[in-house]
């Protein structure tokens, strides 16, 4: 019925603490602190220290975020995984733009894994990799056309196009065990949840 990652998170919290709801709420608060920290990093990377601090402050005092942390809802874990995926995606796109051959594939794998984990928390990101990969491919194509007079090394070109494709492949690999389980249980193709 529901995606598996949040129930597994709650079960792990219960197992570690002897089954107390307050302990799971505390774990969610720690996850939320991680979301605030990642928001600061993304803001700093993209816009500078001041905007990063402002973005982190806005996330930290957001009434919806604070309220979700105190309840057993998947929003806290999902938001952390989504923001972590955005942070890795920002670095992945930067590495492709700067031609860091040794970084693009690992960062692409990280992006796919985090997006897969977020999707296994809430099914709303199921199609997210499609526009992400199309946008990354378009950005890479534009970058290559702009540098026509100085062609990229074949190894760099191959690595960056491989890094673009590794995101949906890794994403699909993360979802595959749960999708196969759903097929066995429901007798139908249910990628993540019966709710969507």
Per-residue DSSP letter, 194: T
Output the tens digit of pLDDT for each of the chain's 196 residues: 789 999 999 999 999 888 889 999 999 999 999 999 999 999 999 999 999 999 999 999 999 988 998 899 999 999 999 999 999 999 998 888 787 878 888 999 999 999 999 999 999 999 999 999 888 888 777 777 776 544 555 656 666 677 788 999 999 999 999 999 999 998 989 899 877 6
pTM tops 0.85: yes
CA 178, distance to chain mean position in Å, is 17
The pLDDT value given to residue 4: 94
User: Around Cβ 49, how many Cβ atoms within 10 Å?
Assistant: 10
**Which pLDDT does position 159 carry in this prediction?**
64
Q: What is the pLDDT of residue 152?
A: 56
State in Å, rounded, how far the first CA of the chain is from the last one.
Answer: 10
DSSP single-letter state for residue 192: S
């Amino acid at each position: 019925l529901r995606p598996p990652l949040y129930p597994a998170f709650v079960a792990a919290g219960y197992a570690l603490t002897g089954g107390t709801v307050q302990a799971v709420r505390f774990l969610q608060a720690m996850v939320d602190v991680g979301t605030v920290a990642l928001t600061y990093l993304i803001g700093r990377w993209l816009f500078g220290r001041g905007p990063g601090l402002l973005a982190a402050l806005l996330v930290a005092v957001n009434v919806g975020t604070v309220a979700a942390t105190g309840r057993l809802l998947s929003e806290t874990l999902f938001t952390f995984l989504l923001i972590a995926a955005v942070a890795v995606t920002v670095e992945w796109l930067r590495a492709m733009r700067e031609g860091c051959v040794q970084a693009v594939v690992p960062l692409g794998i990280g992006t796919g894994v985090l997006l897969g984990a977020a999707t296994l928390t809430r099914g709303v990101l199921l199609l997210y990799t499609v526009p992400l990969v199309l946008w990354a491919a378009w950005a890479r194509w534009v970058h290559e056309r702009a540098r026509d007079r100085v062609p990229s090394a074949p190894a760099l070109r191959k690595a960056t196009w491989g890094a673009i494709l590794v995101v949906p492949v890794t994403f699909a690999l993360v979802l595959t065990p749960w999708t196969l389980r759903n097929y066995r249980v429901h007798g139908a193709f249910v990628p993540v949840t019966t709710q969507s």
